């Protein structure tokens, strides 16, 4: 008889199913997650200290969150390890029993499939039953530490994003102002006409400015319409003072059957070089809308760690920090002191110590307000 006419292939499938069950009954996913969470939490203090020593001033809640998860984790880890040992012992008998049932299928391996179907179905059902018990025990154990596992993952990702931001700023085509501190960045496409695709790059926000830097690969040579050479282009397309951001809002864009908020619409006042900008973000536009609002209002200053904390972190790292003070605010006069022409941006402006006159073009040194 061929394999298709006997129970051979079905028995082989059940043997593979048993092998997988025997591995899962040792709860390897729980063991791996506990070990990985332990590593993440243990590494957070050093990663945060390095971040502060590099001069990143914001997200002052990161340390408190890291301390909180580190405080509750040891008891959750120990409980999970005890639960794994207990579950493994309890499941061993169940797995051994169904393993014997699979071993007994050797008697029907060469029989016609039709005559062995009843016993094969019974063993298959027994395997499913034990698998359900393994899954239930895994879920129950995970429930005890899931919140800390997820928090550790989130914190590690957020700290890495801050380090990535500093790396990108160090290599950017623009330079920070003396009193300027970066806050965040996101991959974005500037839709120059508001609809069609435009230059791709990154949107940066600091406590002083909003900047869009083109950052993409462009073809420099083609042969028969095939790109044979590329180069990376980094170019600052525009920058706007935080005080010149007049409005920020999100817009929906269809992705398949889903409407997503991934368009950010910005309106600017003088002396911005453009009046509006529409960007397609590879990130949460609603989150960016809120962040821009906090920068405009100055509320983002409440998220600073402060120069003392930055210096302390640098000392702990054995280095010397170069913390930037809070961005200064300057007064823009209503009239140019050189030509008496009206200054459209009269009022307070953050992080900009001089502006060109709208009429004569002469740079006007501003009086510091704070």
Instruction: Name which of 332, 252, 323, 250 is nearest 293 in CA terms.
Output: 250
Query: Which pLDDT score, from 0 to 100, does residue 314 have?
Result: 58
For 312-324, give one letter per residue: b (16+ CB within 10 A) or e.
bbbeeeeeebebb
User: How big is the chain by its Cα radius of gyration, in Å?
Assistant: 31
Tens-level pLDDT at each residue, the chain (370 residues): 444 578 999 999 999 999 999 999 999 999 999 999 999 999 999 999 999 999 999 999 999 999 999 999 999 999 999 999 999 999 999 999 999 999 999 999 999 998 999 999 999 999 999 999 999 999 999 999 999 999 999 999 999 999 999 999 999 999 998 889 999 999 999 998 766 678 999 999 999 999 999 988 776 666 555 656 678 889 999 999 998 999 999 987 665 554 556 899 999 998 888 999 999 999 889 999 999 999 998 899 999 987 445 555 556 666 554 444 456 677 788 888 878 888 777 777 766 666 677 777 666 777 777 6
CB 287 within 8 A of CB 161: no
Asked if 82 and 34 touch (Cβ cutoff 8 Å), the reply is no
Within 28-112, where are the H helices? Answer: 28-53, 61-103
Sequence-distant (≥ 6) Cβ neighbours of residue 268 within 8 angstroms: 240, 244, 245, 246, 274, 275, 276, 277
Q: Which residues contact 286 (CB under 8 A, 6 or more apart)?
A: 250, 261
Element (H, E) at 14: helix 8-24
pLDDT at 283: 86
**Phi-psi category of residue 336: left, alpha or beta, with phi > 0 → left and psi -120 to 50 → alpha:** beta
pLDDT of amino acid 1: 44
pLDDT of residue 323: 46
Let me know: does 207 contact 183? Beta carbons within 8 Å.
yes
Name the residue among 285, 268, 280 with its Cα closest to residue 210.
268
**What integer pLDDT is reported at residue 144 of this predicted model?**
96
Domains and CATH numbers, the chain: 3-168 (no CATH), 182-303 (2.30.29.30), 329-368 (no CATH)
Q: CB of 353 within 8 A of CB of 366?
A: yes
């Amino acid at each position: 008889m061929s394999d298709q006419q006997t129970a051979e292939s079905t028995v082989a499938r059940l043997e593979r199913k048993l092998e997988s069950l025997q591995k899962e009954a040792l709860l390897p996913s729980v063991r791996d997650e506990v070990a990985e969470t332990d590593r993440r939490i243990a590494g957070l203090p050093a990663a945060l200290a390095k971040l502060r020593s590099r001069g990143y001033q914001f997200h002052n809640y990161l340390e408190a969150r890291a301390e909180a998860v580190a405080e509750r984790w040891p008891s959750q880890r120990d409980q999970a390890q005890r639960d794994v040992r207990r579950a493994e012992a309890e499941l061993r008998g169940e797995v051994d029993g169904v393993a014997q049932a699979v071993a007994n299928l050797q008697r029907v391996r060469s029989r016609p499939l039709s005559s062995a179907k009843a016993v094969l179905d019974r063993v298959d059902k027994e395997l499913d039953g034990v698998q359900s018990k393994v899954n239930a025990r895994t879920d129950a154990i995970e429930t005890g530490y899931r919140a800390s596992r997820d928090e550790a993952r989130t914190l590690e990702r957020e700290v890495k994003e801050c380090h990535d931001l500093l790396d990108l700023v160090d290599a950017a085509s623009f330079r920070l102002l003396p009193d300027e501190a970066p806050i965040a960045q996101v991959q974005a496409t500037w839709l120059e006409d508001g609809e069609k695709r435009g230059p791709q790059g990154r949107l940066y926000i600091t406590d002083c400015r909003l900047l869009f830097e083109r950052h993409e690969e462009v073809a420099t040579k083609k042969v028969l319409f095939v790109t044979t050479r590329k180069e990376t282009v980094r170019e600052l397309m525009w920058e706007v003072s935080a005080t010149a951001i007049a409005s920020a809002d999100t817009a929906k864009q269809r992705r398949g059957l889903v409407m997503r908020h991934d368009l950010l619409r910005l309106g600017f006042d003088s002396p911005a070089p453009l009046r509006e900008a529409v960007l397609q973000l590879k990130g949460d536009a609603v989150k960016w809308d809120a962040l821009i609002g906090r920068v405009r209002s100055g509320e983002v200053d409440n998220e600073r760690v402060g120069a003392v904390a930055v210096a302390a972190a640098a000392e702990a790292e054995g280095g010397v920090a170069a913390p930037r003070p809070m961005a200064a605010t300057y007064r823009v006069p209503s009239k140019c002191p050189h030509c008496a022409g009206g200054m459209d941006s009269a009022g307070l402006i953050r992080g900009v110590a001089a502006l060109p006159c709208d009429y004569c073009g002469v740079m006007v040194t501003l009086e510091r307000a704070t």
